[in-house]
Amino acid sequence: MIRLLHVSKVFGEGPARVPALSDVSFTVEKGEFVVLSGGSGAGKTTLLRLLYRDELPSEGEIEVADFEVTELRRSEVPQLRRSIGVVFQDARLLDGRTVFANVAFVLRVLGTPRREVRPRTLASLKAVGLSARAQAYPHQLSQGEAQRVALARALVKSPALLLADEPTGNLDDDMGTEILELLKEIGSRGTTVFLATHQARVATQLKRRTLTLAGGHLLKDEG
């Protein structure tokens, strides 16, 4: 599902040159649940952005969901992103739209037939346990609920790969655990999950394969 080969990423040039990733190589199989662990500035977010082609690597090759990411033309990037769901530390919900509208927005943007939008949106909300909050607005949600809506939004298009960038970073332990349980459940249904976190307890709690980044280098690949 994911293959990185000698990937490096440098921001800026000359004296302002900042290496973010150095010679990172690993493979994630289809259906695997992998934790990307590392402190602040380790390069986790950069790595995720390379995976959904928000950035291009300075060196190396990246393959995601059968797409040669480094070879993709700009016009082909949307095709890659349709097979990836992304959640961030902040839920990034759209104000002024209900929970239902936030999730349905994805399907409408992608031109899903109208008759499919409602059942798929409701199914996605049910999967994250938020059917009862469908008509609520983002400001009426707790942080945990908002993050679950973000998960529903990422999952509604049935992606092969789910990228989660610090999804529990803003949550207390109980809410964080709820989200992790949801992610495990999503993984158990066959979706490949790649979760980046700076919280050591998350990796411990999940007991999954863990890649550890430090200063842009891949230090460990265990589990």
Chain residues binding another protein by CB under 8 A are: 11, 20, 41, 43, 45-46, 49, 52, 54, 75, 78-84, 86, 92, 94-95, 105-106, 108-111, 114, 153, 157
Task: Quote the distance between the C-alpha of residue 128 and its chain's center.
Answer: 16
Residue with Cβ nearer another protein (14 or 111): 111
Task: Using the minimum distance from each CB to another protein, give the nearer residue, 120 or 178.
Answer: 120
Report residue 22: phi and psi, to 5°: -130, 115
Closest separation in Å from C-beta 136 to another protein: 18
In angstroms, what CA-CA distances link 147 with 5, 43, 138, 139? 32, 23, 10, 12
Task: Confirm if 148 and 179 have CB atoms less than 8 A apart.
Answer: yes
Distance CA 6, CA 31 (A): 23
Least Å distance, CB 81 to another protein, is 4
Separation of alpha carbons 88 and 169, rounded Å: 9
Nearer to another protein, 36 or 86 (CB): 86
Give least dist CB 10 to another protein, A: 12
Please count the CA atoms within 13 angstroms of the CA of 170 that sit on its side-chain side. 15
Decide whether 178 or 191 has the Cβ nearer to another protein: 191
Q: How far is the CB of 191 from another protein (least distance, A)?
A: 15
Name the residue nearer to another protein (CB basis): 42 or 178: 42
Minimum distance, C-beta of residue 43 to another protein, in the bound complex (Å)? 7
Instruction: Calculate the CA 202 to chain-centre distance.
Output: 15
